């Protein structure tokens, strides 16, 4: 097995993925996508940025849309358990020689930015403004009825290295794809919060953000979204799906926002809190790996992703090819 | 509009499509497909044939699987309203110079076989053995939970001619696809029973049976079927979907039986009983015609179909090309 | 069997139930209920009346809300097949000594009002203004996503008599409840359009309108409606359900509008176009008759209904008691 | 707020609830209920006991049915994170003067039994035999498609005391019901694994086991179960629901096994991993507390529960009355 034993006592305690800031070129168009169509709730907005949360979230934001000239992803945000964890995290990254910048983030308490070894920008914090629950205000539900942010998926130029690093800080591998020939990892799914993943890695030119995923109630909500997108001018923004993933067993749909940032709609994976949960291995050549029902992903899905601000990606070291739709 | 005014007072009263006999080369394998996987109920079987019904049907059979050396479709069966209608139907076909053969069909009363002008084999009858209801025996529901046969779709070498003929015998057009350039029909959906169709026609080498469709309760049953097929050895029998049709607005999946006979799983179209219901026109080049969500059908969907026993098909006269998946 | 043989060749051809006018005391409040909450579409409105249609309907209206001082139901509207049928219908009612009043109905062509033998007000017409399809404008779907009007249910002081009369004009019984002791009908479901019913009768002080039902896509839409009603001030308007009917096998919910008019949300019954469809008999004392899952209906459901304008109801002749929730 | 601050650093680390053993009087009848009807998978069985797991569980068992003369619940089983936690747990219970019995449990490594201060029997362990995944063997899914055990709910004679104790060992309160008059807790929901609860407490004669809950994919699976139970002889075992809980926002159904042990079918609550998640307070007199849609629970739901083996319950100290169905 090419994956490391889980680190059950990591140097600091990450609760879950939390939020990401996306640079978008047309705030109004992005608002139409994320708010009017997808159904996220605006928690703050001005001429430069829109803060959004999903229906069961009480933290202030899971997506920040910020106006800019080039579409970019900024830091992947993670919530830590405790103030001590924030200090321990700082020490950890400094000890690795990775940059630590304490930043002032609206609606958050003490936060710092850093990078993983491939240059992926990360942000850690403990407290974010808490908002009143709205999960039982059913009149507010719209679009796909997004409940919460579920995970990030990143292109990594070396998935073995990514897994080694994130494993060290406590992310536990739930499923992974191996290239049988080389014995290298082609993709991996790793979690903190007890689902299949908070963070996944896909072999490819990276670091780049492959997608950000939202959890929705049932597959029928995804069908409703497809019907809505298809009849409100968003049909070309549907990229892949719907389908059942082999990996994670989740029901999925991939769509692209007006700047090409990829959003996954996702539901129905499984609980992973057991520390002795055995990772599930998939072969890269297994056609049911991507989609249990056998449909391959399109070329764009393997090639396109959001650049991280201020980080040039490098080509993947592993050249193994997945199955791509003709 | 290239379609004729509906004939509201046809020469005889067809209630609905009823059944079809499929010649299959391996009865056991077909039983595994239709009964164990799809969930149809066996109402009679011996070494030569298996009779099947769906969960809300009280007639004896909607599909007959008959052992043979070559996969073929036999007559498309239609239920008439009354014994008088059967005599009127006979007179109608004889007057057209079309063959009428009175046949002895198990579990059916007086039945005759005939042909439409393109040679499509048809069977008409009034009474079929009635069985006790099983629609509330929920322990019997399996697979996709098929409720009833919904429609036939046939390749026609000349859809204008097909529509003209079936319109004359009372089939009412609900939706149709026009080739803008030639002004000819490329496809049409026609009904008797008050749904979008009992009988549809697709331009192509014909006559051939394109597919037979079954109505199921909800899109979730189709997702369940996909999960089941994908994990019980039937993944390669999934041909197209799931998706929402532009035409008919129904949710669909196309699968192939062990001999390649195509079965559609279908739900959620609309009621069409109004005699003044306006047909909906679609352009052949509209990518949302086939699938509202934009995904094109694969090449096999446009080219492959079941031969009717004893009928050589001829190429379509209209050469217009639909949008085909790469 | 206490029900008559179906009259397959009735004196005139009723296509389906079509619409009803409800007198409501506060038009704004009723609009909030039917439009904002339930999701019907306004097709016309002024200070006196609101016309509504459901999502797949192309006729102008299925419900008319008219301002008045007392909540009342007015004529139950039925669409006839052809202009000849309208004349034949007039002749039929006149021959029975029932009143025929030709009326000028907005958005409808020639229409007449009449009464059934118990005094239930009826309206017949052939053509109603046709509107462009909106069933694929998914941005308009709201609330329970009502697709079409499905049926009326009326309190009848003598269900045997009601069935005899409606059978004569072509309504076919699909299911019925017998009082075993007396051998009389306690309730019956009768159809024209090929579903379980266009018109049902329940033993009770009548004639009164028990409820008007709307067809929705799936049981999940009914659950969505319950969540919405419960959190937008309508929780007290939920009367009974959700549940699966024993009779009709449909999934249901009963709610009350601001004036107490009862609306059923309904889906998943079965196709009934076969002229030889055998009616299903239920015993009044069968606890699964009302709700397959065993829950009895509340007292209000058996006792309350909308008065028809200008018609005093009389007590039911049959005194048999159904099972009522404590 | 009558609830204590969460103990984020408890004396030992409980991962989640794990399993319970139920004493049943007729093993074959219980097998029909849990396996044939509900859809749990048998992982071991002999003439004395049946071990069951749900579809996504890889641990050997979540329910053990053991033959006995009187229906009883035995220890509530919890999985600990690490072997050290097991020793720390032992020390904790001994220090409280609570009994610790190391027991030999089939399919589990080192396990001990103890009691909470009210006498509720508890079992702690770290490792259970791990079985191959079956969550993608869709041919095995049956009944309600149970995915995993979700929570226990216990009658407590003093909910304030129960919450204080479980809070001390790290259970975090997510929602609670207060009796406004006395200021005492009437019920509370507490979790370890990141859902609304692993363990809930209801005011009543206790300790007794109120119910054990299973997580299922969607509300439609609960509707399927109701249809199945209603038509396979289990209709009288339906106790309450279906409905949406006010508390937890989950969709639910309560059923009773052949010995009266109560099982909840449950889905769609929310993620609770944030250590700063604010508990939600409900008033005992709020009719939407139990069921968002307003339906009160029946008397049996408030009064009946499973006795724990070897533990006489005592009456609740708090006499406040919930809303009970007439
Ligand atoms: Ca229908
Ligand atoms: Fe993903
Ligand atoms: Fe079709
Ligand atoms: Fe009804
Ligand atoms: Fe519970």
Instruction: Say whether pLDDT at B304 is over 90.
Output: yes
Q: How far is CA D2 from the centre of its chain?
A: 23
**Cβ atoms within 10 Å of D69's Cβ, excluding its own:** 7
Q: Left, alpha or beta for A35 (phi > 0: left; psi -120 to 50: alpha)?
A: alpha
Q: What tens digit of pLDDT does each residue of A268-310 get?
A: 999 999 999 999 999 999 999 999 999 999 999 999 999 999 9
Tell me, what's the pLDDT at B272?
A: 98
Determine the Cα–Cα distance for residues A67 and A28; give it in Å rounded to an integer.
10
Tell me, what's the pLDDT at C326?
A: 83
- For chain B, give every residue range classified as CATH 3.10.180.10: 14-128, 143-307
Q: Return the structure tokens found at B242.
A: 């799931």
Could you tell me if C58 and C87 are in contact, meaning their C-beta atoms sit under 8 angstroms apart? no
D294·C227 Cβ contact <8 A: no
Q: Cα–Cα–Cα angle for D62, D65, D68, nearest 5°?
A: 150
B232·D138 Cβ contact <8 A: yes
**Hunting for tokens 């849309």 — which residue is that?**
A65
- The runs of H, that is alpha helices, within chain B are 27-31, 83-95, 159-168, 219-230, 299-303
- Chain B residue numbers touching A294 (CB-CB < 8 A): 230, 235-236, 238
Could you tell me if B197 and B301 are in contact, meaning their C-beta atoms sit under 8 angstroms apart? no
Q: Which of D228, D246, D249 is nearest to D237 (CA)?
A: D228
pLDDT category at C137 given cuts 50, 70, 90 is very high
Any chains having at least 3 CB pairs less than 8 A from chain D are A, B, C
Q: Which of B193, B190, B215 is nearest to B202 (CA)?
A: B190
A276·D130 Cβ contact <8 A: yes
Q: Which residues pair with D189 in a beta bridge?
A: D175, D200
Tell me, what's the pLDDT at B326?
A: 83
Nearest to B294 among A230, A242, A287 (CB): A230
Tell me, what's the pLDDT at B53?
A: 98
Q: Mean pLDDT of all residues in chain A?
A: 97
Tell me, what's the pLDDT at D1?
A: 53
Could you tell me if C127 and C58 are in contact, meaning their C-beta atoms sit under 8 angstroms apart? no
**Hunting for tokens 């290295």 — which residue is that?**
A161
Percent of chain D with pLDDT over 70: 100
Q: Mutation test of the interface with chain D: which of A273, A290, A292, A294, choosing the one with the most D Cβ atoms within 10 A?
A: A273
Q: Quick one: three-class SS letters along A221-259?
A: HHHHHHHHHHCCCCHHHEEEEEEECCCCCCEEEEEECCC
Tell me, what's the pLDDT at A326?
A: 83
Mean pLDDT, rounded, for C211-236: 98
Determine the Cα–Cα distance for residues A214 and A219; give it in Å rounded to an integer.
13
Q: Mutation test of the interface with chain C: which of D218, D223, D238, D253, choosing the one with the most C Cβ atoms within 10 A?
A: D223
User: Chain A closest CA to D246's CA: distance in Å?
Assistant: 8
Q: What tens digit of pLDDT does each residue of C167-181 get?
A: 999 999 999 999 999
Q: What tens digit of pLDDT does each residue of A89-141 get?
A: 999 999 999 999 999 999 999 999 999 999 999 999 999 999 999 999 999 99
Q: Mutation test of the interface with chain D: which of C293, C295, C297, C301, choosing the one with the most D Cβ atoms within 10 A?
A: C293
Could you tell me if A196 and A173 are in contact, meaning their C-beta atoms sit under 8 angstroms apart? no
Q: Which of C105, C271, C137, C127 is nearest to C196 (CA)?
A: C271
What is the B311 CA–ligand 1 centroid distance (Å)? Answer: 34
Q: Residues lining ligand 4 (ion), CB within 5 A?
A: C 153, 213, 264
Tell me, what's the pLDDT at B1?
A: 54
Could you tell me if D232 and D224 are in contact, meaning their C-beta atoms sit under 8 angstroms apart? no
CA-nearest residue of chain A to D267?
A: A217
Q: What tens digit of pLDDT does each residue of C96-124 get?
A: 999 999 999 999 999 999 999 999 999 99
**Cβ atoms within 10 Å of A312's Cβ, excluding its own:** 9
Percent of chain C with pLDDT over 90: 98
pLDDT category at C2 given cuts 50, 70, 90 is confident
CA-nearest residue of chain B to A250?
A: B227
Q: What tens digit of pLDDT does each residue of B281-297 get?
A: 999 999 999 999 999 99
CA-nearest residue of chain B to C292?
A: B136
Under-50 pLDDT residues of chain D: none
Mean pLDDT, rounded, for B58-64: 98
The residues near C75 (Cβ < 8 Å, ≥ 6 apart) are C20, C21, C113, C121, C122, C123
Mean pLDDT, rounded, for A165-171: 98
- Chain A residue numbers touching B218 (CB-CB < 8 A): 220
The answer to whether the pTM exceeds 0.90 is yes
Instruction: Say whether pLDDT at C1 is over 70.
Output: no
Q: Please report the number of interchain residue pairs, chain A to chain C, with beta-carbon separation below 8 angstroms.
A: 27
**Cβ atoms within 10 Å of A288's Cβ, excluding its own:** 18
User: Chain C closest CA to D233's CA: distance in Å?
Assistant: 11
Tell me, what's the pLDDT at A1?
A: 54
C244·D226 Cβ contact <8 A: yes
pLDDT category at B2 given cuts 50, 70, 90 is confident
pLDDT category at A316 given cuts 50, 70, 90 is very high
* Domain B143-307: CATH class, spelled out: alpha beta
**Cβ atoms within 10 Å of B140's Cβ, excluding its own:** 13
Q: Mutation test of the interface with chain A: which of B221, B224, B230, choosing the one with the most A Cβ atoms within 10 A?
A: B230
Domain covering C14-128, topology: 2,3-Dihydroxybiphenyl 1,2-Dioxygenase; domain 1 (3.10.180)
Count of H helices and E strands in chain C? 5, 18
What is the C153 CA–ligand 1 centroid distance (Å)? Answer: 19
Count of H helices and E strands in chain D? 6, 18
Percent of chain B with pLDDT over 90: 98
Measure Cα distances from A123 to A207, A280, B163 in Å: 15, 29, 64
Could you tell me if C308 and C209 are in contact, meaning their C-beta atoms sit under 8 angstroms apart? yes
Q: Which residues pair with C111 in a beta bridge?
A: C103, C125
Q: What tens digit of pLDDT does each residue of B228-270 get?
A: 999 999 999 999 999 999 999 999 999 999 999 999 999 999 9
Q: Return the structure tokens found at C205.
A: 């002080």
Q: Which of D205, D322, D197 is nearest to D264 (CA)?
A: D197
| Element spanning B188, H or E | strand B185-191
User: Chain B closest CA to D160's CA: distance in Å?
Assistant: 43
- Among the bound ligands, the one closest to the CA of A251: 2
Measure Cα distances from A283 to A175, A187, A196 in Å: 11, 10, 18
C138·A220 Cβ contact <8 A: no
| Residue C14 backbone dihedrals phi, psi, to 5 degrees | -90, 125
C251·D223 Cβ contact <8 A: yes
What is the D28 CA–ligand 5 centroid distance (Å)? Answer: 26
């Amino acid at each position: 097995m090419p994956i490391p034993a889980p680190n059950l006592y990591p140097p600091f305690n990450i609760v879950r993925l939390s939020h990401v800031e996306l640079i978008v070129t047309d705030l109004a168009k992005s608002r139409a996508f994320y708010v009017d169509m997808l159904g996220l709730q605006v928690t703050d907005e001005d001429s430069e940025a829109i803060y959004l949360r999903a229906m069961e979230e009480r933290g202030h934001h899971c997506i920040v849309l910020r106006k800019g000239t080039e579409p970019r992803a900024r830091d992947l945000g993670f919530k830590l358990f405790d103030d001590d964890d924030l200090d321990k995290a700082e020490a950890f990254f400094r000890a690795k020689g990775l940059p630590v910048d304490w930043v002032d983030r609206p609606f958050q308490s003490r936060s710092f930015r850093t990078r993983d070894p491939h240059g992926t920008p990360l942000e850690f914090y403990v407290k974010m403004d808490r908002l009143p629950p709205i999960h039982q205000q059913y009149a507010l539900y719209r679009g796909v009825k997004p409940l919460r942010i579920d995970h990030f998926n990143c292109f990594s130029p070396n998935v073995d290295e990514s897994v080694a690093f994130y494993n060290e800080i406590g992310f536990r591998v739930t499923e992974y794809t191996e290239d049988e020939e080389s014995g290298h990892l082609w993709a991996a799914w790793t979690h903190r919060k007890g689902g299949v993943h908070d963070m996944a890695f896909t072999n490819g030119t990276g670091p780049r953000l492959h997608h950000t995923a939202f959890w929705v109630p049932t597959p029928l909500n995804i069908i409703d979204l497809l019907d809505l997108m298809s009849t409100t001018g968003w049909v070309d923004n549907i990229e892949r799906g719907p389908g059942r993933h082999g990996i994670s067993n989740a029901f999925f749909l991939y769509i692209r926002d007006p700047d090409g940032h990829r959003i996954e709609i996702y539901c129905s994976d499984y609980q992973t809190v057991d520390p002795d949960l055995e990772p599930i291995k998939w072969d890269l050549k297994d056609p049911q790996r991507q989609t249990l029902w056998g449909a391959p992903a399109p070329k764009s899905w393997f090639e396109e992703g959001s650049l991280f601000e201020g980080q040039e990606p490098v080509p993947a070291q592993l050249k193994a090819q997945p199955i791509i739709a003709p």
